[in-house]
Structure 1
Amino acid sequence: MHEFTEWPKTKRLFRDIVVTEKIDGTNSAIHITAVPHDEPGEIRVWDGHWTSPVVDGTRYVVTAQSRRRIITPGKTTDNYGFAGWVYDNAADLVRILGEGLHFGEWWGSGIQRGYEVPGRSFSLFNTERYVDIHEHVGEFNGVPVTVGPVPVLYSGTFSETAICHELEALKHFGSKAAPGFMNPEGICVFHSQTRNVYKVTLDNNDAGKWEAAA
C-alpha cells in the first residue's frame, strides 16, 4: 500500500536575497565549542586534532576544516596553512567569532587566483551574522590576516536585473574583495525563503545566460 505523500509548500521567489562576491580561494571553517576544563592554561593541543584555548576562564575546543575533512597544521595535513593560522590564533578567534561553526573562504597570496595581494583573508559567508566583524588576526608572511564577511553587492527583493547588474559591475570594475583585481570569479546569491545559496560565475560555465538577460 502507498502512504500519503504531501507536496511540499512552494517557496516564494520574490523574497529578500543577498548577493555577495564569490571569492576564488578554498572553502574552510572553524568550529568552536565551550567545554569543561580541569586545569588552567593558555593553549594545548589534544591528540593533534584540535586546539584548546582558555578564554576568560572558559576552555574551548577549536577545530579547523576544509571542504572535505578536518585539517591540522603540517605540510601534509593542512590546507594552504589555514589550520596553522587557526591554531596560532585560536584564543583571538574565540573572542571574535564566539561559539559555533563558522564557514568562509580562505584566500589570497598563493591560493587559486591569488588576487594580487600580499597576505590572506578569511571571508565569512553569513554576512548578516558577521556584519560587525572586521579584524586583523595574526599574520601571513609578515602581513596581517583579515577576518570579516564577504563583500555584499546587493541586498533586497529578488531581482534578475539586480543580479545581472552586479555581474556586469564585477566584470567591468573588478573585485570588491580585492580592489584593482580585474579577474573576479563571480557572485553567490543567498535566497532568504529557500535558505539556499546559488552561484553565477564569469567564466564559460555561465557565459551567455546572464549576459543575454542584462
Structure 2
Amino acid sequence: MHEFTPWPKTARLFRDIVVTEKLDGTNSAIHITKGAAVLCPSSVFEAYPLKLGEVFVDGYIWFITAQSRKRIITPGKTTDNYGFAGWVHDNAADLVRILGEGLHFGEWWGRGIQRGYGLEGKRFSLFNTTRWDAVDEDSGTSMKSRAEQSDIIDQIDVVPTLYVGPFSESVVWQIVDDLRTYGSVAAPGFENAEGVCIFHTASGRVFKVTSDHRDGNPQRLASGPLNDVRRDAGKWEAA
C-alpha cells in the first residue's frame, strides 16, 4: 500500500523579502558543536591532546568543521578549498566565540577566488543577515559585536543587505541595475558586481538574479504588480 503524501504548503508570493549582494567566491560553511566541560585542561590535554577540529574555549571542548559546497574540507594542499579550512583551523577559537554553536553558511571570497574584488586578502561573509545582528539574551552581545572585539574583524562579516520589504520584481531589477551602475557594495570601487540573492521569508527559499543579462531584460521596470508578476516569468533561479 502507498503512504499518503500531502502537497506541501503553498507560500504567498507577495510577502517580505531580503535582498543581499551575491558575492562571487566559493560557497562555504563552518559547523560548530559544543562538547564536554574540562575542569583541569592542562592535565587532561597532556594525556589526551586535542585533535584536528577540536579547540578548547572558555572551559569547554568545541568541535569545528569546515566545508565547501560539496564536501568536508581540511587544511592541506589537496584537501582544502582556497585555504578556507586552513583559515578556520587557524582562527578556531575566535570563530567559536563569534559564531557560537550551529551551522554557519557564507561566501569565502577575495584575492585569488573568482572575481577577486580587488582585495588583498580573503574574507568570510555570512548569509544569515538576521542572525548576524541578533543580540543573545544571555551574553547581551551579537555576532557582529563579538567580531568587532576579535582579531579577525577584517576577515569576517555578513553579506550587504540592499532591501527588506514586500516582494516586487521591479525593486529587484532596480537593485541589480544599481549594482551595474555603481558597482559592488561589499567591495566599494569594484565595478563588476555579480548580482543579488533574494530570501523569500514566507517560503524560506533563496533565489538569485545575476547582472550578466542571463535573467532577462536589465532595463529598469515601470512599477506595478501586474508587470512584476508577468515579466520574465520562470527566470528566477534557486540559489
Query: Could you state the TM-score of these two structures normalised by the residue count of structure 2?
Result: 0.78
For the residue of structure 1 that corresponds to 2:172, the secondary structure is helix
**Structure in which a larger fraction of residues adopt strand:** 1
- Where does residue 189 of structure 2 map in the other structure? 180
Match of 2:68 in 1: 66
Q: CA RMSD in A?
A: 2.3
Gaps of 5+ in 1: none
Aligned to 1:40: 41
Moved over 6 A (4+): none
Larger CA Rg, structure 1 vs 2: 2
Which of residues 144, 147, 151 in structure 1 aligns to 2:156? 147
Distance 1:5 1:100 in 2: 31
The offset of 1:77, in angstroms, is 0.7
- Residue in 2 that maps onto 1:206: 215
**CA distance, structure 1, for counterparts of residue 131 and residue 185 of structure 2:** 20
Q: Give the aligned residue type for 1:76.
A: T
* Partner amino acid, structure 2, of 1:203: D
- Is 1:169 the counterpart of 2:201? The answer is no
Distance apart, 1:9 and its partner CA: 2.8
The 1:2–1:36 alpha-carbon spacing in structure 2 relative to 1, beyond 3 Å, is closer
1:50-199, aligned counterparts within 5 Å?
50-131=52-133, 132=142, 133=144, 135=147, 145-199=154-208
C-alpha deviation, 1:204, in angstroms: 3.8
> Displacement of 1:212 after TM fit?
6.8
Please report the TM-score for the alignment, with normalisation by the length of structure 1. 0.87
**CA–CA distance in 1 between the matches of 2:159 and 2:66?**
19
Percent identity reads 59
The aligned amino acid for 1:127 is T
Greater percentage in helix: 2
